Amino acid sequence: MTTPEKETSDFIRNIIKEDIREGRFGGRVHTRFPPEPNGYLHIGHAKAIVLNFDVAAEFGGLCNLRFDDTNPSKEDVEYVEAIQRDIRWLGYDWGDRLYFASDYFEQLYEFAVQLIKEGKAYVDDLSPEEIREYRGTLTEPGKESPYRNRSVEENLDLFERMRAGEFPEGSRVLRAKIDMASPNLNLRDPVMYRIMYVTHHRTGDKWCIYPTYDWAHGQCDSLEGITHSLCTLEFENHRPLYDWFLDQLGIHHPKQIEFARLQLNYTIMSKRKLIRLVEEGHVSGWDDPRMPTLSGMRRRGYTPEAIRNFCNRIGVAKSNSVVDYGMLEHAVREDLNARAPRAMAVLRPLRLVIENYPEDRVEEIELPVYPQDKSRTETRVVPFSRTLYIEQDDFAEVPPPKYRRLSPGREVRLMGAYYVTCTDVIKDEATGEIIEVRCTYDPETKGGQSPDGRKVKGTIHWLSADHAVPAEIRLYDKLFLKENPEEVDEEGADFTSNLNPNSLEILTNAFVEPELANAEVESRYQFLRHGYFCVDPDSRPGRPVFNLTVSLRDTWAKISS
């Protein structure tokens, strides 16, 4: 288990410290994570989750989970369940503070009535197209709607009838009466309610008018007593509107602070685009191990601790930045290096026969499970015999410069077992492909050291052919070829044209240690000299399936290329 970064400091925490020092909100800190249940959570959401929950915990406060379910046409219970599962998996607990914007629909309606009564909101009969035209542009002010100055009584009556279902969808809206000439377009009489004859996943058919996010969000935060509403940069322009609503209503006024959302290179984060990957079959589902979703990363083998550490390490600021994917990989390696048990796996097998080793002999080789940690003494047993599998890459008939693995005439160590020297190479006569390597072993080198003190340059892993367990191993590479998947070569193409055709490679002829035959789903291992792997739910007894989480750093790859 890695220890979380301590002393994280960023502009948001600085503001909160200042607020506490000055006694704002009575020294209280209460945050919330407010997802819309219209998709699965991804690593970008993790940044917001970690921020909100950690900040609350650090300052002795609480963090709520609230679903902003104001648009039933896009939302579904499937998502509200998946989201809760993912947040729990990440390691966070909202106690009994699970809320829904829809819990507040009645209260929001009353707030709206209050604004109407004060002449601060009105029912508008303009069509959507007309509203757009009347809004004006970035450089020109808008025009006031002809319905803007209806009487309070008429507005009250109309609004009530909107709720009663007397008008067709899209025919009327409730708008705030603010300023059609404001340079901030959000203040040009924003829509508060729209008519939608859509069944809501929680309120059923109780409502046919639904609040917009802009109208609902700030009041929901207020009702929950939120002190610090942390949100992403694009809502900075909306803050004056949220402030206006809260001030008109005269209710608790949380402080909104905006930060930059997470962007990762070689990755897309937009929910709309992730949905496309799923629906168009570019990936197997939301939990495809190549997806940046939390469920995908979980299946891939990422740990909650690694993700949390990553989130704390990238910091929180206001500049639009793109984090290098390597940072994420570093975070998993760091965590898994410390805690993953080691095992040997041969991904692309090559037979190795030890000519001077007895035909029927089987030895039990004892190897440490956590060799990287001298304080741990657990061991495992791996059978050794005359015929082994080694990695194809660990033999070279003509060794390249600096190669220290097996080649004709050379001696290497079979990890934990014996020194072997290559005596011969057997090839397929037709294709010339190497199908077997012949060796002799030195019986004096049992355990991997020689009494005469001679050194070998290389140590390779191995598996006894008769004992190895067949396994399927799925290797993953980046889902996209470009750092910025949106950057497209040809006109008319979109991000899918940058999909990496080799992002998944399935090895069906791999082998693992006998002990792993029935490894538990989601358990993680380091396959020595390869990387970290995680047991996939597709595993069957006696035929486990492993997903590559992340490979080990590979300096040989740099040297050899």
Nearer to RNA, 156 or 191 (CB): 191
Helix (H) or strand (E) holding 330: helix 325-339
Nearer to RNA, 81 or 554 (CB): 554
**Among 36, 224, 305, 472, which one carries the catalytic annotation?**
36
Nearer to RNA, 271 or 504 (CB): 271
Query: Which is nearest to 394 in space by CA: 439, 441, 335, 445?
Result: 439
Nearer to RNA, 4 or 447 (CB): 447
How many CB atoms sit inside 10 A of residue 461's CB?
25
Read off φ and ψ for residue 299, nearest 5 degrees: -65, -30
- 271 catalytic residue (yes or no): yes
- 300 catalytic residue (yes or no): no
Closest distance of CB 13 from RNA, Å: 9
Token pair for residue 76?
């579904």
55 Cβ neighbours under 8 A, 6+ residues apart? 12, 13, 16, 29, 31, 61, 63, 228, 230
> Are residues 68 and 101 in contact, defined by beta-carbon separation less than 8 angstroms?
yes
Nearer to RNA, 62 or 460 (CB): 460
For residues 542 and 163, what is the distance between their CA atoms, to the nearest angstrom? 61
How many CB atoms sit inside 10 A of residue 450's CB?
17
Token pair for residue 68?
């902003």
Closest distance of CB 527 from RNA, Å: 8
Nearer to RNA, 238 or 504 (CB): 238
Closest distance of CB 351 from RNA, Å: 20
Alpha carbon distances (Å) from 485 to 37, 47, 224, 478, 488: 25, 21, 39, 11, 7
**Among 172, 202, 271, 529, which one carries the catalytic annotation?**
271
**Among 148, 255, 261, 478, which one carries the catalytic annotation?**
261
Query: Which is nearest to 385 in space by CA: 411, 338, 353?
Result: 353
Closest distance of CB 262 from RNA, Å: 9
Nearer to RNA, 228 or 288 (CB): 228
HSE value, Cβ hemisphere, 13 Å, CA-based, for 488 = 9
Helix (H) or strand (E) holding 51: helix 43-58
Token pair for residue 443?
């019986």
- 261 catalytic residue (yes or no): yes
Q: Which residues pair with 414 in a beta bridge?
A: 460
Closest distance of CB 448 from RNA, Å: 2
Closest distance of CB 367 from RNA, Å: 8
Token pair for residue 190?
């924003």
Rounded to the nearest angstrom, the gap between the alpha carbon of residue 164 and the centroid of all alpha carbons in its chain is 42
> How would you classify the pairing of strands 255-259 and 228-232?
parallel
Positions annotated as catalytic residues are 36, 261, 271
